[in-house]
Amino acid sequence: MSSKTVYPAKLEGSVRVPGDKSISQRVAMLASLADGTSKVTGYLMGEDAKSTLSAMEQMGAKAEFKDDALYITGVAGKLQPPTEPLNMGNSGTGTRLLAGIVAGAGIEAAMIGDDSLSSRPMGRIRHPLELMGASIGLTGKRGTLPMMIAGGNLKGIGYLLPMASAQVKSCVLLAGLFAEGKTTVVEPRPTRDHTEKLFEALDIPIEINGLEITVEGLGKDGVHFKARDFVVPGDFSSAAFWIVAVAARPGAELTIENVGLNLRRTALLDVMKRMGADIEVTVTEAKGDPIGNLRVRGAQLKGTVIEGDEIPNLIDEIPIICVAGALAEGETDVRDAAELRVKESDRIAEMVKNLKLFGVNVEEKEDGMVMTGPTGLKTPDVVIDSHGDHRIAMSVAILNSFATEPITIDKVDCVDTSYPEFWQHLEQLGGKVE
């Protein structure tokens, strides 16, 4: 595992973040199921997206990179059973969504992952898939990987999600494509809707009525839809690091180009504007998942409360929001975010620990934290352990850009799961990394 030493710096300029991780993985799965060859522009070459693509290749899809695009030739709904376990690396999204596809496809497969993924809960997908008729075996402690799946002959169900989770929702909807009859998922709160938008783009029958989503299963006729071309926008969750780095520094300016602006992903913009950030949004493509440019101007931020319905739509951004909270005037209170404790690390505990090391006044809560600022950050004389969590590593790097001395962050290989160009872009915007 490698480490990076990051120096304090004023970050500003222009950046184009890599392709969206959530969309890339969904495109890999659906293009692999399609009939024909899909051209995918902007596919993320992070480790999570590569693991998902490799798993689809193990089950018969063909993938080739050529002329800055990815070409995926699908199996027309007829997946082949893999001869080896599907190694999903660190990808929770890939694992949970692909479990729905495998369960529906009538094949048997084993799914494994790295130590971090193997500690994350999978019982939340086992329950609905077994209700549909699949057999799901979880051999890890506390309902975790490795996972054995034997599917086929699924029946459509109505399922009320016990938590707001786009991954569980998508898992059930994807399984529902193969089922007999209709499958309906009801969400307690709105979550990211990339799966639904891709279904619509592929002319897959789907009905959306508020928080109720229904797909018509194709049953014994099999999954059949034609290949099409896809353009993956820049990942808003990756852009979030630069948004906070500049928004919290008066006098700094930043332009982010070609970033995804799906309203179920951009709740961070609402939070930052409540905190006093100066952010200008220009939409350049409105169809499907909107795409556009952001212009950010730095200002003195003020504290706010982040809670309730907005949490599922910024769950990945909360670690970097904590950086904004440390620099803002007054209290910033994060609530209703207990899901952070079962991510790649316990992100509540890790961010509280790291903020305290930098001198931030922060109180840990069961479902979040309260920060009181602004804090004159002081670089701690310790090496920061990322615990293999890409969002912790990148958030600490941005936090230290406001501090006094260089900091060393350990186990930063994890950043490659979502943002392989992060360190390069940090230097491009004025930072120094060794």
DSSP state of 215: E
Task: Burial-class residue 96 by CB neighbours within 10 Å (0-12, 13-18, 19+).
Answer: buried
CA distance 356 to 137: 41
CA distance 312 to 304: 17
**In contact, 118 and 145? CB cutoff 8 Å:** yes
Please tell me whether the peptide bond between 374 and the residue prior to it is cis, using omega within 30 degrees of 0.
yes
pLDDT value for 378:
93
Report residue 274: phi and psi, to 5°: -60, -35
User: Residue 95's CB: how many other CB atoms inside 10 A?
Assistant: 28
User: Residue 200's CB: how many other CB atoms inside 10 A?
Assistant: 14
The verdict on whether 316 is a catalytic residue reads yes
Please name which of 176, 194, 166, 159 lies closest in space to residue 316, comparing C-alpha atoms.
Answer: 166
- Rounded to a whole number of angstroms, the distance between the first and last alpha carbons of the chain is 15
Q: Look at residue 354 and give its three-state secondary structure.
A: helix
Domain 3-19+233-428 part of CATH 3.40.50.300: no
Task: Burial-class residue 314 by CB neighbours within 10 Å (0-12, 13-18, 19+).
Answer: buried
Task: Please list the residue range(s) of the chain that carry CATH number 3.65.10.10.
Answer: 3-19+233-428, 21-216
**In contact, 301 and 275? CB cutoff 8 Å:** yes
Tokens 């501090």: give the residue: 403
**In contact, 235 and 46? CB cutoff 8 Å:** no
CA distance 292 to 312: 22
pLDDT value for 1:
62
pLDDT value for 141:
82
Tokens 């997206």: give the residue: 49
pLDDT value for 70:
99
DSSP symbols for 84-152:
S-EE-TT-HHHHHHHHHHHHHHT-EEEEE--TTGGGS--HHHHHHHHHHT-EEEE-STTS-SSEEEE--
DSSP symbols for 41-59:
ES---SHHHHHHHHHHHHT
Q: Which residues pair with 118 in a beta bridge?
A: none
Q: How many CA atoms lie within 13 A of 353 on its CB side?
A: 13
pLDDT value for 221:
72
Tokens 């800055």: give the residue: 68
Which CATH superfamily hosts domain 21-216? Enolpyruvate transferase domain (3.65.10.10)
**Counts for the chain of helices (H) and strands (E), in that order:** 12, 23
**In contact, 340 and 315? CB cutoff 8 Å:** yes
Tokens 């808003």: give the residue: 236
Taking only the tens place, the pLDDT of each residue in 389-402 is: 999 999 999 999 99
| Given 316, 333, 385, 389, the catalytic residue | 316
Instruction: Using 70 as the pLDDT threshold, list the residues of the chain that sit under it.
Output: 1, 220
Q: Look at residue 396 and give its three-state secondary structure.
A: helix
**In contact, 301 and 328? CB cutoff 8 Å:** yes
- Sequence-distant (6+) residues with CB within 8 A of 64 are 70, 71
